[in-house]
Structure formats: C-alpha cells, structure tokens
Amino acid sequence: MEDTQQSFWDHLDELRRVIFRILGVALAFAVVAFIFRDELFAVVLAPKENCFITYRLLSRLASVFSGSAAESFDVPLINTGLAMQFVIHMKIAFAAGVVCASPYIIYQLFRFVSPALYADERRYAVRVVGGGYVMFIIGMAVSYFLIFPLTFRFLGTYQVSSDVANLISLESYVEVLVMMSVAMGIVFEMPVVAWLFARLGFLNDTFMRRYRRHAIVVILIVAAVITPTSDIFTLLAVSLPMWLLYEGSIHLVARTHPVSRQPE
C-alpha cells in the first residue's frame, strides 16, 4: 500500500480537488452540448423518426420475409409547459456532459483510491471498473438502438380507437429514454458482478443453473419495476436481454476460477 502517511484532512483535501476537477470537466462538456443544441437533440429525438436505423432494418427484414415493407409511422411530440423545453435542454445537456466526461471521471476516482490498494487489488479493480464501464455503455446502446425504439413505436402508435389520438409530450419522451438507458446500463453489469463473485469464490455455475427458474422470475420482477410502462411488449423487450445476460454470465462463471487463498 502507498501514501499511508497522509492524514485524514490531506485525503479530504485531495478528494475535494478531485470533485472540483470532475465537476469542471463535466460542466465544460455540458456547456458544449448546450451550445450545439441541434446536434444534441438530433441524437435524442432520432428514435422517434421513421427513418431511424432500427426501423429501417426492421423494414428490410419485413420485406425479405413477407414481401412488403413495414408500415411507416409518425408520432409528433408536444410541449405542455412554458419553460419545459428550456429545462429539458439543460437537463439533457448536463446528462450529455456527464456521459462525455465519464472516462475522465472514472480515471480521477480510480487515481484517488488506487494508492490505498495493493498491486493485485489494483489489477482486479482495473478489470472490474473497466469492464463495468464498457458493459454500462453497451447497455445504454442496446436501450437506445433496440429497446426504446421498439417500445416507442409500439406505444406511440397504439390506439384503442381511431377517435383517440396520441399526444406524446417531450417531457415523457425524454424521461422514458433516460430512465430506460440508465436501467439497461445497470442491468448490463450482471456479467461483471458475476465474474467478480466467481473470482471471490461466492458464486459458481452450478448454483446459477440450479436456480435458473428462480432467476427468470426475479428477472421478470426487476423488468416490471424498471419498465416505465405496464404493457407486456415492453416487459418482454426488457426481460429478454436480461435473460441472455444471465445465460452469458453462467458460461463466464464456468470459465472463471476462484482466487487461490494462501494459508495463514
């Protein structure tokens, strides 16, 4: 271990400097995102457009298997608050700033805690933090390119009667997009957590296979909690990736050997 001579107040001062640096970089990215409003919202609002890449791929698949392209759709967004568009602009810009600054944030936090770790602990920490970050980004991408577009298209075009038009607010759209992206990012941490527990000797593939049915029930419950709507379509769209991650985690755990412990 290193840096053991520093006092508690020295560590507190260093933590304060780390927090200020993180906030400064995140705010700088947020300001840039706020300035480039058109580019920012072109990304945020892309999943609602009929020409989004996910819908184009689905249309091609439909034309291959059924001979006819998928129907086009148009779901306009509305604003219901006087200052809501400005508030949403600020929130999205800040969220974009945090996402863009996330590699620097992770680096600063790891740099702060790494002196307190042994060499082998530091090595495993790099794997867990690096793997966790990559999986979180992949989870957000899966939500953005697959789960949210399918959910939006299904619910945005669903009507109980032609006399009832759908008026989707911008606030509702952004809230669901952000919540599903963060939730899927967290869900995609499952293989990393499973690998860590397997390395520590707390988990093995036999246990995961034995309680596979129980895990499916838990997955459905978790999906119902994090799903912003109550329809079965969205529930299945969220549950399927979670189940695939669980099955992948079983194979990962089976290949992982616990850390050998030296006798005291």
User: Tokens 């304060």 identify what position?
Assistant: 16
Closest C-alpha among 80, 83, 82, 58 to residue 71 = 58
Indicate the pLDDT class of residue 135, thresholds 50, 70 and 90.
Answer: very high
> Percent of the chain at pLDDT above 90?
45
CA distances 184 to 119, 136, 181, 197, 233, Å, are 32, 8, 5, 21, 16
pLDDT tens digits, residue range 151-194?
888 888 888 888 888 889 999 999 989 988 998 899 999 999 99
Contact present, 78 and 159 (Cβ < 8 Å)? no
pTM to 2 decimals? 0.84
Contact present, 28 and 97 (Cβ < 8 Å)? yes
Q: How far is CA 123 from the centre of its chain?
A: 25
- Report pLDDT for 2: 46
- Report pLDDT for 264: 40
Higher pLDDT, 173 or 238: 173
Closest C-alpha among 171, 119, 101 to residue 2 = 119
Residue 233: is its pLDDT beyond 90? no
Partners of 168 in the β-ladder: 77
Higher pLDDT, 138 or 258: 138
Contact present, 219 and 246 (Cβ < 8 Å)? yes
Q: Rounded CA gap, 167 and 159, in Å? A: 11
CA distances 152 to 80, 169, 230, Å, are 19, 12, 13
pLDDT tens digits, residue range 23-58?
999 999 999 999 999 999 999 999 999 889 988 888
Task: Classify each residue of 40-52 as buried b or exposed e, where b means 16 or more C-beta atoms within 10 Å of its C-beta.
Answer: bbeebeebbeeeb
Summarize the confidence of residues 87-93 as an average pLDDT: 96
How high is the mean pLDDT of the chain? 86
Summarize the confidence of residues 234-247 as an average pLDDT: 86
Q: Rounded CA gap, 108 and 160, in Å? A: 52
User: Tokens 């702060």 identify what position?
Assistant: 112
Q: Rounded CA gap, 114 and 129, in Å? A: 12
Residue 120: is its pLDDT beyond 80? no
Indicate the pLDDT class of residue 199, thresholds 50, 70 and 90.
Answer: confident
